[in-house]
Amino acid sequence: MSAELQNRVALITGAARGIGAAIAQHLSDAGAKIAIADLDGDGAKSTAKTLKTPAIGLSADASDETAMRSAADRVVAELGSLDILVNNAGIGGPDTNAAKASLEIPLTELSVDDWDAHLHTNLRTAFVSSRAAIPHLSRGSSIINIASIAALMPSVSMPAYGAAKAGVIHLTKTLASQLAGRGIRVNAICPGYLWTRAWEMIASQIKNNNPAYKEYTAREIFEDVIRNSVPLGTEQTPEDVGHMVVFLASDKGKNITGQALTIDGGATLGGRRVKSADNDQ
């Protein structure tokens, strides 16, 4: 086992499954003790049981200040310290009206409730969890926020989600600036297209609302999106994100702060993948 993060303790929100679970796995493989805070407390506990290092699973809403303060206190009491916070909890998917309609809606048709829900789940969570963790962090600690490529491009089907994730990047830069004097680094990761429960849900919504995809399975719709949107032609994986989190949390990232690092196979380069004799093989 790599000892890169030995004697470090990481708290990861929303890590019962998906990208968060892979982040927990990679941090544990690098030697860190792990705490998982998820709305799904049972899922958090079962994921914690699969890890090689000491790990606890907690039932907590990352947007709830009282719950996150007591989660952070418990992590320090049971695992000895708190050195790495990964703000991963969040929910993607087309905004409700977009899912009901054509997947492209004018902003005037986006409901205020949808707007609030996305900001609550994707931005308030990072703010509240950071507030709870920061008093426990010390020199060499790190906060890593999971944003999205939706923060970097106009997002016609997910305007509220895109705005919330853009807010996560802004929060990253502000916190990085405020905490640099204490030797604490703050960075964001912007993943592209990853086949998790979240994307399975998005693909089902596309299938139900777009007749062109009627005969496709959810996975086939996802593969079609990859073909059309990712220049490298490959899907991104939770493991890609796990590796980047370990790098940023370790000494290898000691001079990196306030950055938003993209893992998207080139999706944000713009333009569509052009068919050619080479890439059609």
Distance in angstroms (rounded) separating the CA atoms of residues 167 and 102: 26
> In the chain, at which residue ranges do the beta strands (DSSP E only) sit?
9-13, 33-38, 55-59, 84-87, 142-146, 185-191, 260-263
Region binding ligand NAD by CB under 6 A among candidate stretches 82-90, 207-215, 249-257, 272-280: 82-90
Residue from 5, 38, 79, 265 in contact with ligand NAD (CB under 6 A)? 38
Instruction: Choose among 189, 188, 261, 272: nearest CA to 226.
Output: 272
161 is catalytic: yes
Site track for ligand NAD across 113-142, x = CB under 6 A: --------x---x-----------------
Which residue in the block uniquely carries the two structure tokens 């892979």?
Answer: 22
Distance in angstroms (rounded) separating the CA atoms of residues 258 and 164: 17
Minimum separation from the CB atom of position 87 to ligand NAD (A): 8
Distance in angstroms (rounded) separating the CA atoms of residues 98 and 157: 6
Residue from 10, 12, 19, 48 in contact with ligand NAD (CB under 6 A)? 19
Closer by beta carbon to ligand NAD, 15 or else 30: 15
Site track for ligand NAD across 147-186, x = CB under 6 A: -x--------------------------------------
Using left for φ > 0, alpha for ψ between -120 and 50, and beta otherwise, residue 7 falls in left
Q: Report if residue 206 touches ligand NAD, rule: CB under 6 A.
A: no
Distance in angstroms (rounded) separating the CA atoms of residues 209 and 204: 9
Helix or strand holding residue 17 (H, E): none
N-term to C-term CA, the chain: 39
Distance in angstroms (rounded) separating the CA atoms of residues 101 and 175: 38
Residue from 8, 17, 26, 118 in contact with ligand NAD (CB under 6 A)? 17
Q: Report if residue 75 touches ligand NAD, rule: CB under 6 A.
A: no
Q: Report if residue 53 touches ligand NAD, rule: CB under 6 A.
A: no
Q: Report if residue 267 touches ligand NAD, rule: CB under 6 A.
A: no
Residue from 194, 246, 248, 260 in contact with ligand NAD (CB under 6 A)? 194
Instruction: Choose among 201, 209, 194: nearest CA to 105.
Output: 209
Residue from 12, 75, 144, 146 in contact with ligand NAD (CB under 6 A)? 146
Closer by beta carbon to ligand NAD, 2 or else 66: 66
Q: What number of chain residues touch ligand NAD (CB under 6 A)?
A: 30
Distance in angstroms (rounded) separating the CA atoms of residues 115 and 268: 24
Distance in angstroms (rounded) separating the CA atoms of residues 183 and 174: 14
Minimum separation from the CB atom of position 278 to ligand NAD (A): 27
Give the residues lining the site for ligand NAD (CB under 6 A): 13-14, 16-20, 38-40, 43, 61-63, 88-92, 121, 125, 146, 148, 191, 193-194, 196-199
Question: What residues are labeled active site?
Answer: 161
